[in-house]
């Protein structure tokens, strides 16, 4: 009897130890929940390769935006077509277009930006007005956050897309826009609700936008919801048709050489693996998608082929990330706080990114009330020669 009781006691102790071990493992998994959101898809690693941005780019000059007039610059594109080399003197960009999220009238929401370099002084980002028209009196919201550029193909005009976090009349919804480049200005041709039905975003709507071509006759406008989890990418598709057929006609003369974009009914919903705060997006010189995760100080890179496959697939897809560029070491520089003793923002300040034709990466920070906006130039490093 003593031995049986002893055996039972030992077994009980072993079972109790196993339960405690399993509970500890469960607790660790729970605590690491955000990292588990980077779960693999196929052969993708759970922790997609994270690469310090300095290994790919050399840090260049930082341009400081204006304090007067007050602007909060959060989106950026370079309005240059690949064949238009005359507008790129010496390979350098001479003009940016920037979204000002504090402007509340369409004609002030997008501005020209130029970097002014003065001897012995820090480069200054100077903003100038740009001509914007809305001849069809389309509905316009507020709080424009990002811009996207799609260059002409010769048969089609150049397009600029924009996203905002407030709809007409102060509605708490994402709103999206499509402009035509015309006479060095922008003409609004299409605007629409971006949020899914019944969604109210507050200050967490579309912070990023991108434009891509799918094949010869289809355009996709992608809106990137900022937060909270689960963030998503919503795609709006357009069929491109030659001539005037409506409902959205792009061409100065609206003649036989015009292009009509017909919105397609299907709107897709996808997610990018492991994104916490989607603050901006762009298409890189390699054709891949770059998405800025402001709070994690990471730039996620998504292969173009995987992106297009997800957009074409009507099901909701989790799009894997090939790798992530870690720019956390640059945060203190781009925040450029007026109060140097103030702590860095827990949410991050980078909200815009774009590339020029030579592969330079431009990182735009909206510092809100803590200081002026900043624009950092990053120059691609030459790959090391093979051994």
pLDDT of 11: 43
C-alpha distance from residue 127 to each of 130, 143, 370, 371 (Å): 9, 18, 19, 16
Handedness of CA 184, 134, 139, 107 (dihedral sign): positive
Question: Could you tell me if residue 181 is inside a domain?
Answer: yes
As a whole number, mean pLDDT of residues 75-93 equals 66
Q: Any idea of the CA torsion for 126, 112, 71, 364, to the nearest 10 degrees?
A: -90
Separation of alpha carbons 307 and 48, rounded Å:
16
Order of strands across the sheet that contains 298-302: 49-52, 323-326, 298-302, 289-293, 278-283
Counting Cα atoms < 13 Å in the Cβ hemisphere of 298 gives 19
Is the residue at 344 inside a domain?
A: yes
User: Which tokens hold the place of 127?
Assistant: 């903003």
Which strands make up the sheet holding 73-77, listed edge to edge?
73-77, 96-100, 110-116, 124-129, 57-64, 374-380, 361-365, 350-355
Domain range spanning residue 44?
A: 32-380
Q: Tokens standing for 321?
A: 């990330």
Q: Is residue 251 part of a domain?
A: yes
224 and 278 in contact (C-beta within 8 Å)? yes
Segment 108-149, tens digit of pLDDT: 899 999 998 877 788 999 999 899 999 889 999 888 899 999
- Please report the pLDDT score of residue 55 as a whole number: 95
For 21, 28, 29, 194, 316, the CA distances from 18, given in Å and listed in that order, are 5, 16, 17, 51, 40
- The answer to whether residue 69 is domain-embedded is yes
Mean pLDDT along residues 19-30: 39
Higher-confidence residue of 243 and 371: namely 371
pTM: 0.82
Q: What is the mean pLDDT of residues 341-356?
A: 86
Instruction: Identify whether 299 is part of a domain.
Output: yes
113 located within any domain? yes
Burial class of residue 125 in the structure, from the number of CB atoms within 10 Å of its CB (0-12 exposed, 13-18 middle, 19+ buried)? buried
Which domain CATH number covers 209?
2.120.10
Four-residue CA torsion sign, 298, 344, 375, 384: negative
pLDDT for the residue numbered 265: 82
pLDDT at 318: 94
In a domain, 23, yes or no: no
Res 162 pLDDT > 70: yes
Greater model confidence, 90 or 12: 90
Q: How far is the C-alpha of 193 from the C-alpha of 185, rounded, in Å?
A: 24
pLDDT band at 34 (very low <50, low <70, confident <90, very high): very low
* Residue 310 DSSP one-character state: H
Q: What is the number of domains present in the chain?
A: 1
Task: State mean pLDDT over 183-189.
Answer: 85
Burial of 66 from C-beta contacts in 10 A (0-12 / 13-18 / 19+)? middle
Residue 350 lies in a domain: yes
Looking up tokens 């130039």 gives 377
């Amino acid at each position: 009897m003593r031995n049986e009781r002893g055996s039972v006691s030992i077994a009980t102790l072993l079972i109790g130890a196993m339960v405690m071990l399993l509970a500890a493992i469960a607790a660790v998994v729970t605590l690491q929940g955000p990292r588990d959101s980077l779960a693999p898809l196929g052969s993708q690693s759970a922790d997609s390769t994270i690469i310090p941005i300095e290994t790919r780019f050399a840090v260049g000059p930082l341009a400081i935006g204006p304090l007067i007039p007050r602007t909060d610059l959060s989106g950026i594109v370079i309005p240059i077509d690949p064949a238009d080399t005359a507008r790129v003197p010496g390979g350098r960009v001479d003009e940016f277009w920037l979204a000002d999220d504090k402007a509340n009238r369409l004609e002030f929401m997008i501005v020209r930006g130029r970097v002014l370099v003065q001897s012995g002084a820090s480069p200054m980002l100077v903003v100038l007005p740009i001509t914007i028209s809305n001849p069809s009196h389309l509905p316009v919201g507020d709080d424009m956050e990002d811009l996207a550029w799609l260059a002409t193909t010769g048969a089609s005009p150049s397009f600029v897309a924009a996203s905002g976090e407030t709809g007409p009349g102060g509605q708490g919804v994402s709103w999206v826009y499509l402009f035509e480049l015309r006479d060095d200005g922008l003409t609004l041709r299409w605007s629409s609700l971006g949020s899914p039905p019944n969604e109210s975003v507050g200050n967490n709507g579309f912070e990023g936008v991108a434009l891509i071509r799918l094949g010869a006759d289809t355009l996709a406008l992608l809106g990137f919801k900022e937060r909270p989890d689960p963030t998503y990418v919503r795609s709006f598709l357009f069929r491109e048709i030659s001539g005037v057929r409506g409902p959205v006609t792009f061409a100065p003369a609206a003649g036989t050489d015009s292009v009509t974009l017909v919105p397609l009914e299907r709107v897709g919903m996808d997610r990018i693996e492991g994104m916490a705060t989607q603050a901006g997006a762009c298409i890189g010189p390699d054709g891949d998608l770059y998405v800025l995760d402001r709070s994690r100080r990471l730039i996620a890179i998504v292969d173009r082929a995987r992106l297009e496959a997800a957009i074409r697939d009507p099901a909701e897809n989790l799009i894997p990330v090939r790798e992530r560029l870690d720019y956390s070491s640059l945060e203190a520089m781009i925040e450029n706080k007026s109060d140097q003793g103030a702590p860095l923002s827990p949410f991050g300040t980078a909200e815009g990114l774009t590339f020029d034709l030579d592969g330079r990466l431009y990182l735009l920070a909206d510092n809100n009330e803590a200081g002026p906006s900043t624009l950092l130039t990053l120059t691609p490093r030459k790959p090391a020669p093979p051994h």
